[in-house]
Amino acid sequence: MSQAPELSFASEQTSAEYLAKRVEEAYHVISPDNLGIVESLYTDDAYFEDPSHGVQGKTALVGHFSKTFAKLQGCSFKFHQTVSNGADIFMAWTMFIKYPSLKGGQTIRVEGASFLKTRNGKIYYHRDYFDLGSLLYEHVPFLGRMILKIKQRIAQ
């Protein structure tokens, strides 16, 4: 009796690889409407951190995302590369985000990466790495011009 192809494919994937695919699907277009899917990826004691702050616990994480994404006109991610050792996951991505009050509501593009630690098929540690200046500060009228001048001087 032969095994179904999808079963053999599933057995070749680690739980971290499967979880990474679920993360990609959930974050591809993230909004207040799909936070239940995002919530299902995390343990109850999950810790999330990005360049602006950190939150402890799944309830706090979902609350943070809900508050953040309610302020946006849109947010999506394009994933470029995923590396896993069977438990930990590193994902390189580009975020496309629209804040009504920044850059005239135009899409802001931010390159970044996530490091995820998993336990029993769920994420218990999520750390995002990206340049907060390219997301926010560079798009604030006066401050943005000053940051651009500083970057230009450093590049010389």
Return the top range by mean pLDDT from 25-34, 80-89, 139-148. 80-89
Rounded to whole angstroms, the Cα distance separating 108 from 72 reads 11
Type and span of the H or E element at 37: helix 35-39
Instruction: Quick: pLDDT tens for 48-97.
Output: 999 988 999 999 999 999 998 888 888 899 999 999 998 899 999 999 98
Residues belonging to the chain? 156
Question: pLDDT at position 7, please?
Answer: 39
pLDDT in tens, 31-53: 888 889 999 999 999 999 999 88
Domains and CATH numbers, the chain: 5-130 (3.10.450.50)
Tokens of 101: 């009050």
Q: Name the pTM for this structure.
A: 0.80
Cβ neighbours of residue 119 closer than 8 Å, sequence gap 6 or more: 43
